[in-house]
Structure 1
């Protein structure tokens, strides 16, 4: 599987339609969760049937606008949270078991094989369900033209602090060629060092969050000053909120980029990598990677 992310470029009116699509997916998910709470012996198929019932209900005319497979995907999310709760109960997991909760700030909606249409050059996408969000340009460093429509199994629209993105789940088999040289290494993740290997080499931890704390504190204070208790928030408040969100997103991307590149360099330079399992650290056991 391969996930390719592209930024959606459109008009402000189109972005508002995307928000409506995301809110509708949230409505479907919460409705499925309420149905599970109010009834016994509910199965996944029952939630799928509920999606069709909600689409025909005259009290919720917006539910029918969302693509049928997108409604089913929202129901699948509910069922996944229910299954996780059941599994934790069966395993007698200590602490909270993760009882499913209603979502208030959903940031994504997922399509399967219908409800959208890609251009022949894979540089544009059009959402063709009842919301009619229109055509968006796809800005990405990865070229989708190398993958057929049949290889794309899921399309997810995600709202982030700096805009709207489209994530494509591509069914493709990745193969990495490697010449066996007998290099074996053990690593242990830490706080002061990103990881330390069995040869005594330590890779430094860049500490992106620590370096950005001053900037984060400044943006947080600005947001707090502009917050009005018990009143509708002003445009300046929402601007400050977006600035704080963008800073957190930047840190998240920095940390992910560093982790992926460091892990790739480690894997490509060794034939076997052994790391310490945190759950069995006290027992002194190791787990192969």
Structure 2
């Protein structure tokens, strides 16, 4: 079982300067290695996919990859001795990050989805560095020992569970200070809950008026944190635009604006965690729609969809259910609102019509509740089919 705990740290002035200097040097190296890959790509790609049998082929340069870029770090420290102030494994994480970013652009991720063209990092945009190996005894007595930085005070708001080992430590600079994220692992935690009940299932239909409506007719109103904070955000943004570019007053205004945005994001994330916990405490199986959230975020409902944060909610729900030994079933969303949950007859209705009235079975109920029941039924059918196929494979 792999989980992450994040703590706020309180470095002194010297340690803060070291962290900022490390981030800035890593940013320079990230941009340099990314430029190497772009240069090779532009010089060696060709729109022609075939040629005659007798032709001259120029000698191609070696393609930059993780290993040869990693080996170049030794020469980097010889040419620029100030890079010796960075821990070697922290510096080696930069070519790994470049490799992942570049491959996602050209090849795609594990699911085949490609990302956009990688961008160079501007000043202040490189915010995280990672120690890939960390000893547990370096985190004790409300202090954490970070190599090349020193012993930094940590605000420990919760203790690390017994049996978990610290695998990696990431240091992140945010608008309101510095944080460390500990990646914890415990192989002894069971992957399936001992009293797992596949019949204890609920379907949830996420929306913009109600954050979700469950198949048991429980619902939670959408909190709309961004909408409520719009006035404060607009005022903070106005202060930034009125300040002279490059001035200290503008930097202070930008920091205050970042803190306001972080407050909205943190409040939304806290709401998502609490909502997920209430669901997993009551049910063993959660059935949800497999929505194209990125597509919806580009529609005319983009602001409301981003304010709801469905993508973050789904990822938290999936991760927490897996850690608790429970199950999340994704079903196709097509027709869940139109199909009658009682008789299966499809009733066409516009989005503005919030009630489902079936002319065949004469049932009348909330449109979202009808969709939630359909999601639950599809999830139960999919879970049953999945268990049958796993039994046949055995």
Q: Same fold (TM over 0.5)?
A: yes
**Aligned twin of 1:254:** 267
Aligned residue for 1:143, secondary structure, equals coil
SS of equivalent to 1:103: coil
Instruction: Encode CA deviations 1:91-133: one digit per residue, 9 max, x unaligned.
Output: 986xx8512221121111111226x89546352123333xxx2
State the structure with bigger RCO (CA 8 A, min sep 6), 1 or 2.
1
Matches within 5 A, 1:273-288: 273-279=286-292, 280-282=332-334
In the alignment, is residue 154 of structure 1 matched against residue 168 of structure 2? yes
Rg larger in structure: 2
The offset of 1:278, in angstroms, is 1.0
Offset at residue 2 of structure 1 (A): 1.6
Which residue of structure 2 lines up, in the alignment, with residue 189 of structure 1?
206
Question: 2:136·2:166 contact (CA, 8 Å) conserved in 1?
Answer: no
Contact 1:54–1:64 under 8 Å retained in 2: no
Equivalent residue number for residue 13 of structure 2: 12
Q: 1:87 Cα shift?
A: 2.2
Is the CA contact (8 Å cut-off) linking 2:212 and 2:219 kept in structure 1? yes
* C-alpha distance 276-75 of structure 1, shift in aligned 2 (>3 A): same
Distance 1:155 1:188 in 2: 37
Is the contact between residue 117 and residue 128 of structure 1 (CA under 8 Å) also seen in structure 2?
no
Pairwise CA distance, 1:240: 1.9
Per-residue deviation, 1:30: 1.7
Q: 1:241 to 1:177 in 2, by over 3 A?
A: same
Q: Could you tell me whether the CA contact under 8 Å between 1:36 and 1:42 is conserved in 2?
A: yes
Change (3 A) 1:147 1:65: farther
Separation in 1, partners of 2:65, 2:183 = 26
Cα distance in 2 between the residues matched to 1:117 and 1:271: 33
Query: Which of 212, 219, 239 does residue 229 from structure 2 map onto?
Result: 212
Partner of 2:147: 128
Q: How far is the alpha carbon of 1:61 from its aligned partner? A: 2.5
Give the aligned partner of residue 84 of structure 2. 64
Q: Distance in 2 between matches of 1:102 and 1:23?
A: 13
1:166 to 146, 155, 180: 180
Aligned 1:25-174 pairs, distance under 5 A: 25-39=26-40, 40-56=62-78, 58=79, 60-88=80-108, 97-104=115-122, 105-113=125-133, 119=138, 121-129=140-148, 133-144=149-160, 146=162, 151-173=165-187, 174=189
Q: Hey, what's the Cα distance between the residues in 2 that align with 1:4 and 1:47?
A: 31
- Residue deviations 1:112-166 (CA, integer Å, cap 9, x gap): 226x89546352123333xxx2321111212248467xx2221111001111111
| Paired residue total | 275
Q: CA RMSD in A?
A: 2.8
In structure 1, the gaps of 5 or more residues are none
Q: Which runs of 5+ in 2 are unaligned?
A: 41-61, 293-331, 337-374, 384-394
Deviations 1:213-247 (A, max 9, x none): 1111111112222x214xx313x322222211111
Which of 260, 264, 278 is equivalent to 1:265? 278
TM-score when scaled to structure 1? Answer: 0.84
